[in-house]
């Protein structure tokens, strides 16, 4: 069966600024409009002379697309299906381009038999060869991208011990310093205020404060003496009441006195004993007050003597042998600083550290003292040798140590990595903190190329979508 547009359709050329539609077809039965582009016009023209299969082969498109195209236009009543022998020329005046004429003969042209497909084993052979190559074993090296850092035990962070002004700076960035060397001079602005507050330069003076503490000590001592007198008097009263109770108790037992008098005597003795206990407690409290006031008095006196003997300039010295890593711009003379504010970073660079992150399946190939090779980007042709100093006991995620928060997902567990610290001697000071490079450990083991590719992909991308590779 072949196809052509119905001759009673209204076909107009159009120009659309929005899309590539160039032809409009109007169905007279229901006035529906259909817009076609050049490709669809060519397909309609080809339907007059070619079968859907021939069109698909000629224009390199799927035959199912041609069939769906025909079904759409047939369903809308826009096409006539006719035998090839009955095909008449289409009204070419209504189309923007000429439609190829169709030979007027009754017999369709003979169909050409498609070439027989032959089996090509080259694809399978290539896959087999690839699988064999992926199974070849190569030496496996444990490694990764690293950054040079100072060894934590060989560095020092200098912080300000007080609220002060930077009076002088004795070192500069990159300078080598020795232990005990002067670094910074700080002027304590609060020192003079403290001295004036304690010595009376600001109208207050230390005399009232010392006199207040001393007065409290003396008052406590006087009160304690009064309580001691009261306590002795209470003890005398208690002894009298106790003897009275004992006498009344004997007489009441013989029937000479009523028992009620003995009970009253006993109550009086108990009250006297309670008064003694109260006085003792009050004396203990006063003793604590006296001790506290005396301690404050002694501390205040010592502070005044200390400040009087103290200089207003404090020198900060280096606690280690090393280099100044702080930039000069970060530290300026005459700048006010707060307590605990960082002043300088110092580090001994004769030995530096790198950290290699490894997966748990590499642990069997690791041991302390193992040789590590490092190549930094600054010196790509120079291989530097280090030694494994410490293998991490826990993964990077501390939550994995807690069974209540540790992930049970196999993917989460498989991507956990452990830090392997490596110390590298740096006598020429070529390695600087912040330099990056690649470090690796020769595990002396061999793995397949496929296993190596899996590890490298996961190491490079570190993305969850590569978890299946593990």
Topology adopted by domain 2-94: Outer Surface Protein A; domain 3 (3.90.930)
**Which numeric CATH code is attached to 153-181+318-346?**
2.40.50.100
User: What does the domain layout of the chain look like in residue ranges?
Assistant: 2-94, 141-151+348-469, 153-181+318-346, 191-309
Of the candidates 341, 314, 317, the one whose C-alpha atom is nearest the C-alpha of residue 185 is: 314
Higher-pLDDT residue of 389, 73: 389
pLDDT digits over 311-370, tens only? 567 888 999 999 999 887 567 788 888 888 888 999 999 999 999 988 877 877 888 898
Per-residue confidence band for 209, with pLDDT thresholds at 50, 70 and 90 = low
**CB 333 within 8 Å of CB 169:** yes
What Rg value do the Cα atoms of the chain yield, rounded? Answer: 51
Q: What's the mean pLDDT when you consider all of the chain? A: 76
Burial class (CB in 10 A: 0-12, 13-18, 19+), 265: buried
* Residue 412 pLDDT: 52
* Residue 388 pLDDT: 92
pLDDT at position 414 over 60: no
Phi-psi region at 203: left, alpha or beta (left = phi > 0; alpha = psi -120 to 50): left
What whole-number percentage of the chain has pLDDT above 90? 16
Mean pLDDT of 105-122: 61
Mean pLDDT of 189-213: 61
Among the ranges given (105-114, 263-272, 288-297, 369-378), the one the predictor scored with the smallest mean pLDDT: 105-114
pLDDT at position 4 over 90: no
pLDDT digits over 130-182, tens only? 889 888 887 778 888 899 999 988 999 998 888 888 888 999 888 999 999 99
Mean pLDDT of 53-69: 83
* Residue 86 pLDDT: 40
* Residue 466 pLDDT: 38
Task: Return the CATH class of domain 141-151+348-469.
Answer: mainly beta
* Residue 423 pLDDT: 94
The H-or-E segment that residue 391 falls in is strand 384-391
Per-residue confidence band for 468, with pLDDT thresholds at 50, 70 and 90 = very low
**N-term to C-term CA, the chain:** 58
Between the CA of residue 17 and those of 25, 26, 345, 454, what are the distances in Å?
A: 18, 20, 67, 52
Residues ≥6 apart with Cβ < 8 Å to 338:
160, 163
Per-residue confidence band for 16, with pLDDT thresholds at 50, 70 and 90 = low
Of the candidates 427, 436, 328, 420, the one whose C-alpha atom is nearest the C-alpha of residue 379 is: 436
* Residue 93 pLDDT: 41
Burial class (CB in 10 A: 0-12, 13-18, 19+), 22: middle
Length of the chain: 470
What whole-number percentage of the chain has pLDDT above 70? 75
pLDDT digits over 69-80, tens only? 888 887 777 777
* Residue 91 pLDDT: 44
* Residue 382 pLDDT: 92
* Residue 187 pLDDT: 81
């Amino acid at each position: 069966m072949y196809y052509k547009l119905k001759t009673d359709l209204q076909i107009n050329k159009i120009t659309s600024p929005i899309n590539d539609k160039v032809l409009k077809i109007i169905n007279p039965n229901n006035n529906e409009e259909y817009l076609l582009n050049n490709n669809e016009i060519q397909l309609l023209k080809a339907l007059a002379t070619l079968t859907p299969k021939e069109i698909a082969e000629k224009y390199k498109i799927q035959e199912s697309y041609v069939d769906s195209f025909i079904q759409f236009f047939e369903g809308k009543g826009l096409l006539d299906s006719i035998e090839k022998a009955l095909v008449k020329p289409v009204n070419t005046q209504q189309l923007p381009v000429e439609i190829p004429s169709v030979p007027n003969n009754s017999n369709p042209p003979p169909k050409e038999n498609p070439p027989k497909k032959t089996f090509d084993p080259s694809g399978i052979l290539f896959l087999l060869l690839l699988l064999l190559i992926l199974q070849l074993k190569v030496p496996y090296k444990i490694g990764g991208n690293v950054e040079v850092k100072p060894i934590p035990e060989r560095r020092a962070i200098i912080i300000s011990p007080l609220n002060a002004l930077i009076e002088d700076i004795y070192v500069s960035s990159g300078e080598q310093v020795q232990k005990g060397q002067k670094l910074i001079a700080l002027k304590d602005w609060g020192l003079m205020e403290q001295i004036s507050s304690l010595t009376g330069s600001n109208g207050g003076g230390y005399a009232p404060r010392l006199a207040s503490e001393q007065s409290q000590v003396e008052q406590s001592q006087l009160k304690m003496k009064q309580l001691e007198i009261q306590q002795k008097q209470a003890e005398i009263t208690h002894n009298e009441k106790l003897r009275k109770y004992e006498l009344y108790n004997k007489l009441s037992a013989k029937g000479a006195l009523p028992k009620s008098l003995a009970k009253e005597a006993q109550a009086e003795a108990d009250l006297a004993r309670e008064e003694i206990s109260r006085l003792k407690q009050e004396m203990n409290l006063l003793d604590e007050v006296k001790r506290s006031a005396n301690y404050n008095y002694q501390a205040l006196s010592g502070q005044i003597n200390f400040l009087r003997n103290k200089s207003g300039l404090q020198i900060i010295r280096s606690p280690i042998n090393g280099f100044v890593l702080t930039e000069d711009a970060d530290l300026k003379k005459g700048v006010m600083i707060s307590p605990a504010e960082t002043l300088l970073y110092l580090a001994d660079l004769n030995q530096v550290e790198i950290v290699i992150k490894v997966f748990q399946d590499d642990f069997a190939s690791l041991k302390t003292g193992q040789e590590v090779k490092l190549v930094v980007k600054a010196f790509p042709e120079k291989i530097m040798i280090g030694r494994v100093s410490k293998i991490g006991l826990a993964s990077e995620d501390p939550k994995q140590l807690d069974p209540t928060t540790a992930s049970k997902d196999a993917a989460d567990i498989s991507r956990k990595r452990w830090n392997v610290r490596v110390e590298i001697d740096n006598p020429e000071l070529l390695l600087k903190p912040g330099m990056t490079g690649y470090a690796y450990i020769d595990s002396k083991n061999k793995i397949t190329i496929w296993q190596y590719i899996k590890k490298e992909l996961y190491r490079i991308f570190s993305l969850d979508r590569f978890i299946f590779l593990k």
